[in-house]
């Protein structure tokens, strides 16, 4: 019977155990997105995109259409902003109804990504992750020496990701810095012979162009207690077009003024919008935020099998390395640390009981209640997932650590009471076990029920912070419930086996205690 119960709970644990996740995002009332427009968009084009995105969400603005949303419609937007920078754009919003802010994510995504060529991540801001995308962003890093080879592999990885983790299911991918070398770039290539004839160096030519372009800091001054920069800057709008850089006036060493094109070859070409390095090696990173319904462990496994393995089977160029970082690294490190903590907790509980009972065997019997509680915790989490999506994140895993210290109490009550009957009342093992079970059944159920009903509001009722601890509460409630029942089923049986010798007498250690009690 003991083998059947333990085997069933072990099978149930393995069957119902969900995939791992890292940390919950929480329910902050703030949606933030970082969007990467196609390279080369000027200010007027970006402004037009911003207007179209704004017009598409404006019907949800609370100051325009009121604070109450129609049934089945997204919540109204309390605040909205759109910021455009040189290489990226930030967009954000908050909800009037703070409990439904995550429903604004698809609203903003649909408005943004219907614009051609827009890439990025829009997500609810996490209480644990500082960067955009929260604590669930996986970085797929492609690094190497040759940028062309890196971009080629990155485009293949992006193609494989679009099949393995479709965007239609809520998955988001943002390349950093980009998958194409098509950002407009002006290159000034000094002609050293012509510079020498003009009495200039390449450095002086570069400084002159900087001054006429954006200005250059030439001196740092202390004015009282303040430190100020002196910047040398040319006239505003000295050129009206990119090609006008060729006509920038450069003063030679002899005092003559000549156009920049007479001292250098000026090319209007394309280049990367950003140079990214990983361990001082050039890299392109695909930032992946899996859909909310996909645990990180599943996403990491999918990336490994359907992207990494496929790329390696197709053949990688020489010097190209593939790796995962971000949430993938964090999950691995935290899970390894948590496994060690679980093991340490079990060892400490066992050693404490071994000291108290002055035996190495009775604590083993008590420790049989731990896997029973684990099965109950997994079952409680599985039951919760039938109503609300709750991954096995690291906050939920703490529930199993808590269970180790709680569920052994019931078994301790049974074993301790049995030993008291044997040592003090001089009872036979069978009678001692039955009497201990009868007398301790009521306290076991009283303490278990008070704990369960105390934790149920954390699991059942919504509220501020409930999304963080709901999983932990369901694990503890399920573990306590199943353990209270199965502990009464197997601990007396194990005690019967331990206290029975082949001749029908008790174990020598127990027999000695009985003699001491009689004496």
Strands (E), 16-57: 31-36
Confidence check: pLDDT of 504 > 80? no
Q: In the predicted model, what is the mean pLDDT of residues 321-333?
A: 88
Measured CA to CA in angstroms, residue 318 lies from 143, 147, 321, 324 at distances of 11, 12, 9, 19
Q: In the predicted model, what is the mean pLDDT of residues 208-222?
A: 86
Confidence check: pLDDT of 157 > 90? yes
Q: pLDDT-based confidence at 477, cuts 50/70/90? A: very high
For all residues of the chain together, what is the average pLDDT? 85
- Ramachandran region of residue 344, left (φ > 0), alpha (ψ -120 to 50) or beta? alpha
Confidence check: pLDDT of 135 > 80? no
The encoded tokens of residue 152 equal 């080629």
Task: Mean pLDDT check: name the lowest of 40-44, 192-196, 218-222.
Answer: 40-44
Q: In the predicted model, what is the mean pLDDT of residues 305-334?
A: 89
Confidence check: pLDDT of 84 > 90? no
Q: pLDDT-based confidence at 510, cuts 50/70/90? A: very low
Secondary structure string (H, E, C) spanning 82-115 = EEECCCCEEEEEEECCHHHHHHHHHHHHHHHHCC
Q: Which of 31, 274, 57, 27 is nearest to 133 (CA)?
A: 31
Q: pLDDT-based confidence at 464, cuts 50/70/90? A: low
- Note whether 19 and 392 are within 8 A (CB): yes
Confidence check: pLDDT of 81 > 70? yes
Give percent above pLDDT 90 in the chain: 22
CA-to-CA distance for 341 and 374, rounded, in angstroms?
A: 15
Q: pLDDT-based confidence at 129, cuts 50/70/90? A: low
Q: Which of 286, 282, 275 is nearest to 140 (CA)?
A: 286
For 242-272, the pLDDT digits (tens) are: 778 888 899 988 888 899 889 999 888 877 7
DSSP states of 297-359: HHHHHHHIIIIIHHHHHH-PPTT-EEEEEEHHHHHHHHHHHHHHHHHHHHHHHHHHHHHHHT-
Q: pLDDT-based confidence at 305, cuts 50/70/90? A: very high
The helix or strand, by DSSP H or E, that contains position 268, with its residue range, turns out to be strand 264-271
For 422-450, the pLDDT digits (tens) are: 888 888 888 999 999 999 999 999 989 99
Confidence check: pLDDT of 197 > 60? yes
Predicted pLDDT of residue 514: 42
Q: In the predicted model, what is the mean pLDDT of residues 156-184?
A: 85
Q: In the predicted model, what is the mean pLDDT of residues 382-400?
A: 87
Confidence check: pLDDT of 462 > 50? yes
Predicted pLDDT of residue 130: 66
Confidence check: pLDDT of 517 > 50? no
- Residue written as token pair 């062309």: 148
The encoded tokens of residue 225 equal 């207690």
Confidence check: pLDDT of 136 > 50? yes
């Amino acid at each position: 019977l003991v083998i059947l119960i333990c085997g069933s709970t072990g099978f149930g644990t393995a069957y119902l155990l969900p995939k791992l996740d890292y940390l919950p995002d929480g329910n902050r009332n703030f949606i933030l997105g970082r969007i990467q427009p196609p390279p080369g968009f000027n200010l007027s084009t970006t402004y037009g995109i911003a207007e179209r995105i704004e017009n598409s969400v404006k019907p949800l603005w609370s100051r325009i259409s009121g604070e109450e949303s129609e049934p089945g419609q997204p919540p109204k937007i309390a605040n909205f902003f759109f910021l455009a920078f040189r290489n990226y754009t930030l967009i954000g919003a908050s909800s009037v109804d703070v409990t439904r802010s995550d429903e604004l994510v698809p609203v903003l995504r649909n408005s943004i990504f219907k614009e051609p060529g827009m890439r990025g991540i829009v997500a609810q801001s996490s209480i644990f992750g500082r960067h955009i995308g929260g604590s669930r962003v996986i970085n797929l890093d492609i690094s190497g020496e040759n940028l062309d080879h890196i971009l080629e592999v990155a485009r293949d990885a992006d193609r494989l990701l679009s099949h393995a983790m479709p965007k239609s299911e809520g998955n988001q991918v943002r390349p950093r810095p980009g998958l194409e070398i098509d950002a407009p770039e002006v290159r000034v290539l000094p002609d050293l012979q012509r510079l020498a004839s003009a009495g200039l160096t390449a450095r002086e030519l570069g400084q002159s162009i900087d001054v006429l372009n954006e200005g250059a800091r030439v001196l740092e001054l202390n004015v009282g207690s303040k430190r100020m920069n002196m910047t040398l800057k040319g006239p505003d709008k000295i050129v009206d077009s990119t090609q006008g850089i060729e006509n920038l006036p450069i003063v030679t060493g002899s005092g003559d003024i000549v156009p920049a094109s007479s001292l250098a070859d000026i090319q209007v070409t394309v280049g990367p919008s950003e140079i990214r390095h990983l361990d001082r090696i050039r890299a392109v990173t695909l930032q992946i935020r899996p859909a909310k319904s996909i645990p990180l462990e599943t996403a990491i496994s999918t990336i490994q099998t359907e992207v990494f393995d496929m790329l390696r089977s197709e053949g990688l160029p020489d010097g190209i390395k593939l790796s995962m970082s971000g949430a993938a690294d964090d999950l691995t490190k935290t899970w390894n640390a948590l496994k060690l903590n679980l093991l340490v907790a079990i060892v400490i509980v066992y050693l404490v009981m071994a000291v108290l009972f002055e035996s190495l065997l009775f604590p083993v019997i008590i420790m049989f209640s731990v896997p029973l509680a684990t099965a109950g915790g997994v079952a409680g989490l599985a039951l919760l997932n039938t109503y609300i999506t709750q991954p096995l994140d690291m906050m939920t895993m703490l529930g199993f650590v808590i269970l180790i210290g709680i569920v052994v109490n019931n078994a301790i009550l049974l074993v301790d009471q049995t030993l008291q009957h044997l040592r003090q009342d001089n009872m036979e093992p069978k009678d001692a076990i039955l009497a201990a079970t009868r007398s301790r059944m009521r306290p076991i159920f009283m303490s278990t029920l008070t704990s369960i009903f105390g934790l149920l509001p954390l699991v059942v009722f919504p509220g501020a912070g409930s999304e963080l601890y709901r999983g932990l509460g369901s694990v503890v409630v399920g573990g306590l419930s199943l353990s209270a029942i199965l502990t009464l089923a197997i601990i007396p049986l194990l005690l019967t086996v331990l206290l029975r010798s082949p001749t029908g007498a008790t174990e020598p250690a127990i027999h000695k205690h009985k003699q001491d009690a009689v004496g």
